[in-house]
Amino acid sequence: LFAKGANYIPGTLLLPTRTEADRKQLFDDVAGSHFNMLRVWGGGTYEEDAFYDEADARGILIWQDFMFACTAYPGDSAFLKNVHSELVYNIRRLRQHPSVATWCGNNEIREALKYWGWAKRYPKEVYEKFWHDYEALFCKLIPETLREEDPLRPYIESSPDTVNWGRPQEMGLGESHYWGVWYGRQPFEILRERMPRFMSEFGVQSFPMLPSISRFARPETDYDLESDVMKAHQKSSIGNDVILHYIRQDYPEPRDFADFVYLSQVMQGRGIALGIRAQRAAAPFCMGSLYWQLNDAWPAVSWSSIDYYGEWKGLQYEAKRAFAPIILVPDTARGKMLLTYDPLPRQRQVSLTAEVRDCSGRLIRRHTFAPETLPAREVGRLKVELPMEKLFTSDAERNGAFVHYELRDARTKALITELTDYAARTKELRLPRTKAGDFTLKTTRRAGTLFIDIQSKTLLKDAYIDLGETGWQLSDNFLDILPGRRYRLRATRRQNAPARTTTALPTVTLRSITTAG
C-alpha cells in the first residue's frame, strides 16, 4: 500500500465548536481526494471517538502521533506518572479502531536534539538531561506501555527518526520531513531528487482565496500584505517573502493583492503536486506521501490545502488529481514520463497519446506510443521515453505550445486519465493575453446544483473559478482550460456551509494566468 494523504491538525482552536457536519465534510473531502491516510500531528490533540469512527467507516488509515512535539519534555517520575495515565487512557480508547495503523512517539523532537543547535545553545549538563529525559519517555515509557496495552501495532519513536533534510546522504534511510522546499528555499524540482523511503511532511504556504479573506478583512482597508489585519493572520516571520520567492520562480510578477493571493495558490498546488507525483513514481523505494498540511485551526495564511472555512485551495484540487488511482508523471523538459498506478484488480492494456498544440488549439503534431500492459495487484510504474525531438521541433514551440497527454484503455478507448504539460516555466511561456470575448462562462441551476459551462478560444492556464462567496464545493478548479473544448463544472453547497441569505445565482468569475478575472 502506498500511503496517500496529509497531516491533520485540530480543526479549530475552540474544540467544542466543531460539529458532526464539520467532521463528515472533512472526511468527504479526504475520501473524495483519493486519500488513504491522515497523520494526526503530535502538536495538536487526541481526536474524539467520532473522528476515528469516521476514519474506520471511510477506510482512512490513521498515523497517530502521541501529543509531544518540537520541544524537550521532563523525565521526572511525577511527570512520567502523569503521562502514563494519559497514554493508557488514549491507547485503550483508540486501539479498538482498525483505522489506527501506527503509533508515533513525537513530532521532530529527536531531530531537534540532533540538528537544531541545542547542543550549542544550552549548557552541557542541560543538553545531556534533555537526552536522558527523551529516552525515559520515548524509548522506555511509551514502548513499554504499548507492549502492555497494544502490542501488535508498530511504534515509531520519533518522526522523522533518522533523516534530516539538510543531509541528502541520509534520504534513503527512512521517513522524512523535507523542508528544503520552503525553509531552504530550494526549487520544487529538488523533490524529484531528494527521495526518502516515506515522505511524512513537506509543504509551502498560500493565502486563502478572497471569499474567505473577506470574512476577516475589509477590501477597502485590509487587502494589502502590509495591513495590520494581513500581518496578524500571517504568523510565519518569513512567510510572505518565501511565498513571493516561489511565485517568482515560475510565474509572472503579481500585479496586485488579488493576483498575489491567486498566484500563491497556483504555486502551492503545482509545486506540491510535483512532489506527490515524484514520490508515487519512486515506489516501491518510497511508499508514502503525506504533505503538510490538510486543514487550518483558524483563518490564517498557512500550508493548508483546505482553509479554515472549508474552502478548497488549489492544492486540494491538485492533490485529488495527483492521488488518483492511475496518474501520469511527466518531466517533459527532460523527455521522461512515468505512469504510476495503485494495485489493479486485473491486468489492463493501455495506450498513451501526446498532442502538441499552440495556444489557440491548433494541432501541431500527434504522437501515439505503443500499447502497454499494466499488471494486476501491485503498486506499479511504467517508464515512457518522450521523443522530445518529435514533440517540439524548435524553441518557439517549447515556449509557445503545450502537450496534452491522454491515457486510454486500449480495448474500449475509454479515457483513464489526462494531463497537460509544458516544456518551459509558466513565466517563460508566450501566452496570448486573454481578451473580452475569448471565453464564455455560463451558470445554470438545477435543483441544488449549479452547472458552470466554460469554453475558450485560447488556452486559459491555471483557471480559477470564483463563485464570490464561501460554502460551495466545485467538482474541479485550478485547471487548464484547453482551447475549443467544452467544460462543465458542478457546484454544490457543502453540508457544513453557512446558510445563504439570497436565492440568486452567485456571481461567477474566472481568473487565469492571462486574465485578471
- Overall domain count for the chain: 2
Enclosing H/E stretch for 340: strand 336-341
Question: What strand order describes the sheet that includes 336-341?
Answer: 326-331, 336-341, 380-385
What's the burial of 411, exposed, middle or buried (CB within 10 Å: 0-12/13-18/19+)? exposed
Cα distance between the two ends of the chain:
42
| Residue 51, number of CB atoms within 10 A of its CB | 22
Same domain, 464 and 421: no
Cell of 37: 491516510
Any residues with CB less than 8 A from the CB of 111 and at least 6 apart, and which?
158, 160, 164, 177
What is the extent of the structural domain holding 335?
327-428
Same domain, 406 and 461: no
Pairing of strands 449-456, 486-493: antiparallel
Low-confidence ranges of the chain (pLDDT < 70): 516-517
In a domain, 423, yes or no: yes
42/112 Cα distance (integer angstroms):
14
Long-range contacts of 484-490, Cβ-Cβ distance < 8 Å, separation of 24 or more:
484/361, 484/455, 484/456, 484/457, 485/361, 485/455, 486/453, 486/454, 486/455, 487/453, 487/454, 487/455, 488/451, 488/452, 488/453, 488/454, 489/451, 489/452, 489/454, 489/465, 490/449, 490/450, 490/451, 490/452
Among 389, 406, 428, the domain-final residue is 428
Cell of 252: 509572472
355/377 Cα distance (integer angstroms):
31
Enclosing H/E stretch for 175: strand 175-177
The CATH number assigned to the domain holding 491 equals: 2.60.40.10
Task: Look up cell 515512457; give the residue.
Answer: 384
Among 428, 455, 487, the domain-final residue is 428
Pairing of strands 3-8, 37-40: parallel
Enclosing H/E stretch for 481: strand 479-481
Buried b (16+ CB within 10 A) or exposed e, 257-290: bbbbbbbbbbbbbbbbbbbbbbbbbbbeebbbbb
Q: What is the pLDDT of residues 434-449, one digit of tens each?
A: 988 999 999 999 998 9
Separation in Å, CA 185 to CA 219, 239, 317, 412: 31, 11, 24, 46
In sequence order, what are the beta bridge partners of 273? none
Residue 138: DSSP 8-state: I
Same domain, 333 and 409: yes
Same domain, 423 and 342: yes
Cell of 451: 452547472
Task: Look up cell 550549542; give the residue.
Answer: 120
Cell of 389: 525531438
Residue 168: DSSP 8-state: G
Same domain, 336 and 407: yes
Same domain, 483 and 459: yes
Enclosing H/E stretch for 509: strand 509-511
Buried b (16+ CB within 10 A) or exposed e, 130-167: bbebbebbbeebbeebbeeebeeeebbbbbbebbbbee
Same domain, 362 and 424: yes
Same domain, 386 and 475: no
In a domain, 483, yes or no: yes
In a domain, 166, yes or no: no
pLDDT at 96: 98
95/52 Cα distance (integer angstroms):
10
Same domain, 388 and 475: no
In a domain, 468, yes or no: yes
Same domain, 451 and 408: no
State the SS3 of 93-137: HHCCCCCEEEEECCECHHHHHHHCCHHHHCCHHHHHHHHHHHHHH
* The length of the chain, given as a count of residues: 517
| Region class of 314: left (phi > 0), else alpha (psi between -120 and 50), else beta | alpha
In a domain, 350, yes or no: yes
Same domain, 356 and 403: yes
| Residue 294, number of CB atoms within 10 A of its CB | 27
Separation in Å, CA 322 to CA 164, 220, 343, 433: 25, 38, 16, 29
In a domain, 101, yes or no: no
Same domain, 477 and 405: no
Among 364, 399, 428, the domain-final residue is 428
- Catalytic residue numbers read 108, 201
In a domain, 193, yes or no: no
**Residue 356: closest CA among 259, 275, 447, 422:** 422
Any residues with CB less than 8 A from the CB of 14 and at least 6 apart, and which?
none
In a domain, 198, yes or no: no
